[in-house]
Amino acid sequence: MVSISLLGTKIGMTQIFDDEGRAIPVTVIKLGPCIITQIKNIESDGYNAIQIGHRETKHQKLTKAELGHLNKATAPPLKYLYEQKINSPKNLKLGQIITIDQLKIGGLINVSAISIGKGFTGYQKRHHFSRGPMSHGSKNHRQPGSIGAGTTPGRVFPGKKMAGRMGRKKVTIKNLKIIDIYKDNHIIVIKGSVPGKSGNLIRITQN
């Protein structure tokens, strides 16, 4: 069975010291608890999947349809819902709460989140292109230079690496090691950095 994803919040970064005195950069994440709000199966939906919800919110911020959907699972009003395909929903039930109990210290996880938006940036910063010559007489310091052919084809092909909006994309970092787990507070500490700002929604899956 595919391990079930968990939704959480990035609290921030800090550093800890190991037994040999080396500083290890770590990220603190609060995961779950998540509630199973819907179970799909092949007979009714054509595929097996579950939907999990995370982070309670106010009733006023949800529509009647959303509240009715959550009431079927006897779940409180939730801000985020996420659907994940699974092999079989046999051992799962509606309204079941999923916590970090399935995680272990030393285990590896994949973390997905929306990266920090950098706004409109030039081609050098966005695509790591090299600059033009800086010698006297050069007029091509930070310009992109030629971007296409001449009369044929007479246009710039789609996907050309140019200046534009940078960041704010879904990024997944794989094989991050769990350094510590605090089950009472639903908090895990992982080695390295994860995408996004503090307070961002993140999703983790086990390897």
Q: What is the pLDDT of residues 26-69, one digit of tens each?
A: 999 999 899 999 999 998 889 999 999 999 999 999 999 999 99
Q: d(Cα 14, Cα 70) in Å, to the nearest integer?
A: 36
In the chain, what is the greatest distance between 2 CA atoms, to the nearest angstrom?
73
Q: Could you tell me the pTM of the whole model?
A: 0.82
- Tokens matching residue 10: 């990035």
Q: Residue 2: pLDDT above 50? A: no
List the Cα angle 22/26/28 in 5-degree steps: 145
By the 8 A CB rule, do 20 and 193 touch? no
Q: What is the pLDDT of residue 1?
A: 37
Mean pLDDT of 123-145: 91
By the 8 A CB rule, do 28 and 21 touch? no
